[in-house]
Structure 1
Amino acid sequence: MTSLRKLASVFAIAIVAFPFSEADLPCIGVNRNKTMGEFIKDNLDFSDFLRAHKEKGKFFKKIVLDENHFPCKKLARSLSKPTSIDKLRPGDIDIIAAVGDSLTAASGARASNILGISNAYKGLTFSIGGYFAQERGAEAKSSIYNNVSTHFTIANALKFYNPNLKGFSAGISSGEDWNSGFNMAVPGAKAIHLRAQVRKLVRELKKSTDFDNDWKLVTFFIGGNNLCQTCVDPNSSASNFEKDVKYSLDYLHQHLPRAFVNLITIFDISFLKSMSKGHPICDLAHTCFCSCALESPRKVRRISKNYVEVLTNLVETGRYDTRDDFKVVIQPFLEDIEPPQVDGKPDLTYFAPDCFHFSQRGHNSAGRYLWNNMFELKKSRPNTFDPNMPIKCPTEEMPYLVA
């Protein structure tokens, strides 16, 4: 017990001294003047630390990785750049980009404890991550995650077809770092904040790409922070959510040529209550930034479905189908997802130490799902979790992304 007490003391000092970054997630409601790091510092009971450490895995996470068997064959780019999005092959995509919140910033993806949640591991992000090196010590080789076999992301999969793909994220980065690539995501962002992100994206693309001719894949994923604040922020209604998303999609439609936009619908975050059980730090984290899911799970579940409905209806109006070189495609793979289970309990190896954000394993799985959605007909796109789902491959007979 003495060694555990020493370890708890070290952990306590580390939390107090740790300089949580500006990207640290903000609390909401009565705790809105604090960040998650500050909230945990003020409320962590280290007797909980001792109990949890004895049960292992609740404070210091073992990082679990999956191997990927990518069965797809090389598929050539089009002989000339396609002019229609219906003829877009994966190798034709020149630029990859993304807008969103901490899920697209990959907050905490490689973290082994709560101190790492403020780090944006953008190089591992399921939609746009393309390079991440994990040092193993001076005498050991680094583990490098930069291809579809070592870590499945959309960027890594596209590099299989086009090694010259530009825009993917690398390493740990913030919104202003060069290695963010065209990943504009900002932790804590809500739908209204994507207005600034899409404007910045277009500016950056104009500066450093063949803007009019390059084909672009943009992943648009938002809504978690809106849902987390539904019980304290009246502006998080489904109608306001739709208005903010529509503004940003309209902007891309008006200003971005040759673009395939993945619009990922949000998952139901009411399952957070089950994730917190028996995990004191996760409970504190959820109380800080997503208390609505704990206090009003039925309301959150209802509004989550409303979010999906308004986005689906928005796209199905045909509002974004007025050009041959632009398409917004609903990707529903997270809509009805439930946390993966092991021994009847949530499998936390798919989640960061706050039991909310995706871990590296979670991003790997999300990348596989999004990839499959991109090559499946709308009626065939899965919206539930199956870790053994085979990877879909474009073929010479069916080589195009499904728009």
Structure 2
Amino acid sequence: MSFNLSKHIFLPLVLVLALFATSCNSYQKIVKSDNWEYKYNKAIEFYNKGAYYKAIPVIEDLLVYYKGTEKAEELYFYYANCHFQQNSFTISAYHFKNYVSQYPYSDRAAESLYLYAMSHYNMSPERSLDQENTYKAIEAFQVFINTYPDSEKVAEANDKIASLRDKLEKKALENADLYYRTSNFRAAANEYLNILVNYPDIENAEEIAWKALKARFMFADNSTFRRQVERFEETLKVYKDFVYKYPDSKFRKEADGMFEESNFRIIRSSYNHAVLSLLKDREKMFRATINLYEKHFPKITDQRNAEEAKRLLEGAYFMIVKTNYQLAQNSAKQARSKWYSKTINSYFNFIDKYSSSKFANEAEKIYEASTENLNKIKNG
């Protein structure tokens, strides 16, 4: 007796296809049926069996038919949850949010709000990607906790928030470290400081605060003379906060060094900025240097920096003399008398303080020329 293999394979395949065709025809009859109670019962049957892909088209028809009825409320929840169970979280987020808005007093409102949060939670991507859904999930879980504080889901919601915030903490820190490594010190400093504000309980807060100080210092150090004064002032503010919070920090010695250097650099940067400023602004700028010296010099302990700061102060007083003389030389005739008088006054102010200055001879020549020119003007 011969065995026909093809016959034994062909017959079961025909039966399977026939069953599939019958099933498809049966489902299409449900979808196209005008018997709404029948369609409703089949939709609930599909839903309860977990056949969400079958339930969705049927429920869509039912929502139109039962619009404005109690069944619509029930069906809309099932519809949103079908998408959630199918991992269509963008769609489920939209419909759960809409459900809570339309039916805020429904028995399913709390569950819908929680599943709205879970939709965004499930769409929260790895740290390297955009975290919009992470923020939305945190916000939604927090709204859930505030709205339903007695819910058994509150503890779980808090755990979800903690895990999401941990992700954001790590991402923010990675971003800040990347900014620093690529010498984008301004962005690095801002990011480190924002981390400390947004995540006050973060691990290694002391090290992050130290990194913020270091980045702020490097930002100032790499700035132009015109910007360095204000940016080293900002560094001092960050230093003050750092030592207040961590007076015994392992980074304290390095932090103190930056404090010392920042005070000195404020004086030096101000002087250099004044040298490069327009002639009409120069006297004002050198007087600003003198004022900054009075404020910051007492905080300088390094001898080399202290000596350099003194030389800059001496230079600032001399440059005021020189600037006033240049302004007199460049002024219209009617204004020269004022500037020569200012030159003479600034000379006496300088020579009283620095009679042995290396600039004394040049200052005296300026004084003599100013006196002679002023006398000529007075004598006509």
Please confirm whether the aligned pair reaches a TM-score higher than 0.5, indicating the same fold: no
Structure exhibiting the larger radius of gyration computed from Cα positions: 2
Higher relative contact order (CA 8 A, sep 6+): 1
TM-score, structure 1 as length reference? 0.20
